Chain A
Amino acid sequence: MSRLDVNKTYKLFIGGAFPRSESGRVYEVKGANKKFIANPSLASRKDLRDAVVAAKSAHSGWANATAFNRGQILYRIAEIMEGRSEQFIDEICELEGVTSKAAKIQIEEAIDTWVWYSGWCDKLSSVTGSLNQVSGPFYNFTSPEALGVVAIFAENKPSLLGVVRTLAPVIAGGNAAVLIASESYPLSAITLSEVIATSDMPAGVVNILTGKSSELAPWVGAHMEIDGVDVAGLSKKQEEELRLVGADNLKRVFRFSSINHPDRITSFMELKTVWHPIGI
C-alpha cells in the first residue's frame, strides 16, 4: 500500500504567526478536478482588525529601515521561493488546473517580480522625487514616503503571480500590508506566507488573510487605520462600495493594469516637500 500523504493545514498569517481564525470558521477549497483540497480559515472582522494592529505596529520599523535593507529582504523572498518552486507548481496545477509548464512559467515570473521590485527600493526618491527650483533663497526637495497600512485584494488568477505583483510593490515602498487572498485560489498566498516568515521580513509587515472578499471588503473600507487599498481582486461594484465608505478617512484606492511599474509603488506613497532657507 502506498504511503498516506501528510496534508498541510492552511492558516492565516498575522503578525508573523500562523493562527486559525478566531471565529473558528473554515471553508472548503476544491481543485480544478472538483476534489477537496483544503479547509482554509474564513477570516472574521476580528481577524482583519488583528491584522491591521500587527501591520500598524510593524509599519514604522519597516518604513524607517534603510531602503537597501528592504531591498535585500525582498530579494531574500525570491531566493526562498526559488527553493520552494516544486511546492508552488503542485499547488497551482491542482487548483488552477493548468499544466506544470504553465505553472512553472507563473512561478518564474513571480520570483522575477520580487527581484524587480527589490531593486526599486533604494531608487524611488531618485526617480520619483525632485529638487525644486523655487524662486528664493531656499533649499526645497520632494521625496516619497510610505503611506502606512495598505490592504490588498489579490486577483483570482494567476493565483501566485496575482499575489506577488500586488504585494511586492506595496511593501517595497515601506508600507505594511494586509493581503486578502483570492477566495477560490488561496493556496499560493498561504504558502507564500511561509516563505515570507523565513525571509528576515519583520513580523507584521505582511499579513495574509483567507476568506470571503465580499464579507471583508466593507470592513476594510470602513477601517480608519487602513490608509490605502489595491482593489485588484474586487468586482467593480465592490470597488465602488469600498470607495464610498473609504471616503470617511480619504483612503487612497487604486486599481492597476497588469504590468509591473513603479507607479504601483508610488501610488501608495505620500510626497513630502521640505523647505529650508539658504543663508549665513
Chain B
Amino acid sequence: MSGFEYANAPESKAIANIDNSYGLFIGGKFVNPKKGKSFNTINPATEEILSKIGYADRLDVDLAVKSARTAFTKIWSKMPAKERGKYLYRIARIMQERAREFAVVETLDNGKPIRESRDTDIPLAAAHFFYHAGWADKLDYVGLGNKPKPVGVVGQIIPWNFPLLMLAWKIAPALAAGNTVVLKPAETTPLTALLFAQVCQQAGLPDGVVNIITGDGVTGAALVNHPDINKIAFTGSTEVGKAIARSISATKKSATLELGGKAANLVFDDAAIDEAVEGIVNGIFFNQGHVCCAGSRLLLQENIADEVLEKLKKRMSLIRVGDPMDKNTDLGAINSAEQLKRIQEISNTGDAQGANRWSPECKLPSKGFWYPPTIFTGVSQSHRIAREEIFGPVLSVLTFRTPAEGIEKANNTMYGLSAGIWSDKGSKVLWAAKQLKAGVIWSNTFNKFDPASPFGGYKESGWGREGGRHGLAGYLTSDVKASK
C-alpha cells in the first residue's frame, strides 16, 4: 500500500485500576462467593490474565435476590420518584467523569477498539442513565394509565459484545421504573460491571438496589429459575432466549428478550454508492461484527453489484486490524477463543457450500484471537452463512433484481431484529421500510443507537423493546396491561 503510514497511537493502560480479584456485589458490598470459587478474565488481544473473578452459584444467587427483594420492599419502591431519579442522574454523572477509565477497562476486557469504547459504548451508557433518570418521576405519562407499578425484582443477563452499554440498557430503565435488579454480566467481560458497582457505591445508591453476580450459564440459569424473581431481561442468543421462555412458561415471570439477528442491508441501484459502502463497512465490521443487529447479509441490486463490490474491497483494504488499545485501530480482537472457533466453523461452511471468500491482506497479531474482515460472494439463501448468525466480521453478499425480490430475500429469515436500506428516493425508502419485517430499520445509515429510540426485534429476534417510552413500559405493570 502506498501513501502515509499511521504512527502508533496507543491509549495508556495506567488509568485502569483493575484489582487482582473481585468478589460479588451483593447488598452494596463486595463479598466472596460462598463456595470460594473463581475464574479468570483475560484480555482477548493478548491472552493475559486481567483479574480473578468470583463465581456465583445457587447460594450466592439466592443471597443477591434476597438483597434485591429487601431493597425493593423497604427502600426503593417507597422512595419518592424524584429522589430515585436523582440517584440515576448521579450515576450518569459519575460514569461521565470516569469515562476514560471505563473505556480502557472495556477495551482491555472485551478486545474492541478503544475508539469505539471511548466514542460509542461509554458515552451511550451514560446517556442511557441520564435519559431514564428523567423518566423516574414521570411514569404516569408513559401511557399505561395513572400510577403504573414496578414489576419488582428483575433478573438481568447481558452479553459480552457491549458489556457496559448492555448493563445500562438493562439497569437504567429498571431502576427508573422503581425495580431493583440482580445483573449477571457475561463470563468473559465482567470488569466494567464490577467497576459500575463501585460507581453505585460512590453514588450512595441504597444497598441491594443493584446487585452484580459474576459467573457462567449455570449462574444465569439459577437466576432465571429463582422463585422470587418477577421478570427476566436477557440479551443474547436466540437459543438461550427460547430456553428462558421455556423455563418461565409455568411461572408468573415476564420477560424481555433481545436475541439474535441476521440483518439484511439492501442497496438499491439509486443509492449514493460511496455512502452505502461506508454503511456496509460500519454495518458488519463495527465491533468485529459482534453485534446482534449487524448488517451481515448484504443484498445488492444486480446492476450495481460489481461496482459496489469493487469499492467495498478497496475500502476493506484500508481497515486497520490489530491492537485494540491503538486509537487508529478499526477492527479489534475477537472476544474469546470459543467465539473465534464458532466464527471459523460457520465461515468454513461458506467455502464448503460453494461461496467465494475474500479478505484483504492483513497481518494478524500472533497472540490473542483474531479474524480478518471477510466477505463471501456467490452466496445463496440456503447457505448456512446466509441463515445463521456468525457474530463476527464476516459478510455474506447476495443479489436481487427487483425491489420486491430484494424485500422477499431480506425477510426470508427466522430473525427480524434490524435491516438497512440504501436509496436516494424517499418514497422507495419508506416503501421498503414498511415491507421489511424488522424492529429497527436504518435507512441510509446503519448501527445507530440512542436511549430515546426503541430497540428490539420481530419474530425470533425476541420479545419487547429496550429504550424509549416503549422500552420503559416493559419494566412497569398496570391494571390495563396484559399478563406476561
Q: Which of A130, A227, A246 lies at the interface centre, i.e. has the most chain B CB atoms within 10 A of its CB?
A: A130
Hey, which chain B residues are within 8 Å of A247, CB to CB? 242-243, 245-246, 249
Hey, which chain B residues are within 8 Å of A138, CB to CB? 445, 448
Hey, which chain A residues are within 8 Å of B481, CB to CB? 263
A127, closest chain B residue (CB): B143
Instruction: Please tell me if the beta carbons of A276 and B465 are within 8 angstroms of each other in the complex.
Output: no
Measured CB to CB, the closest approach of chain B to A258, in angstroms, equals 11
Instruction: Please tell me if the beta carbons of B429 and A276 are within 8 angstroms of each other in the complex.
Output: yes
A102 at the B interface (CB under 8 A): no
Instruction: Please tell me if the beta carbons of A255 and B246 are within 8 angstroms of each other in the complex.
Output: no
B266 at the A interface (CB under 8 A): no
A253 at the B interface (CB under 8 A): yes
B190 at the A interface (CB under 8 A): no
**Segment 134-190 of A: residues with Cβ below 8 Å from B:** 134-136, 138, 140, 142
Instruction: Please tell me if the beta carbons of B465 and A132 are within 8 angstroms of each other in the complex.
Output: no
B443 at the A interface (CB under 8 A): yes
A7 at the B interface (CB under 8 A): no
Known contacts A240-B249, A255-B482, A271 near B454 by CB under 8 Å: yes
Hey, which chain B residues are within 8 Å of A270, CB to CB? 416, 439, 458
Hey, which chain A residues are within 8 Å of B458, CB to CB? 270
Instruction: Please tell me if the beta carbons of B484 and A250 are within 8 angstroms of each other in the complex.
Output: no
Which of under 10, 10 to 19, 20 to 34, or 35 or more describes the interface residues of B?
35 or more
Instruction: Please tell me if the beta carbons of A273 and B484 are within 8 angstroms of each other in the complex.
Output: no
Contact with A along B459-484 (1 / 0, CB 8 A): 11011010011100000000111111
Hey, which chain A residues are within 8 Å of B243, CB to CB? 247
Hey, which chain A residues are within 8 Å of B442, CB to CB? 275
A261 at the B interface (CB under 8 A): yes
A135, closest chain B residue (CB): B450
B464, closest chain A residue (CB): A271
A128 at the B interface (CB under 8 A): yes
Which of these, B249, B438, B445, B463, contacts A244 with CB under 8 Å?
B249
B452 at the A interface (CB under 8 A): yes
B257 at the A interface (CB under 8 A): yes
A221, closest chain B residue (CB): B249
B444 at the A interface (CB under 8 A): yes
Q: Which of B250, B452, B453 lies at the interface centre, i.e. has the most chain A CB atoms within 10 A of its CB?
A: B453
Measured CB to CB, the closest approach of chain B to A59, in angstroms, equals 12
A255, closest chain B residue (CB): B483
Measured CB to CB, the closest approach of chain B to A219, in angstroms, equals 17
A253 to B463, CA, bound (A): 11
B124, closest chain A residue (CB): A135
A256, closest chain B residue (CB): B482
- Which of B's residues lie within 8 Å of A, judged by CB? 127, 143, 238, 241-243, 245-246, 249-250, 257, 259, 414, 416, 429, 433, 438-445, 448, 450, 452-456, 458-460, 462-463, 465, 468-470, 479-484
- Which of A's residues lie within 8 Å of B, judged by CB? 127-128, 130, 132-136, 138, 140, 142, 227, 240-241, 243-244, 246-250, 252-257, 259, 261, 263-264, 267, 270-277
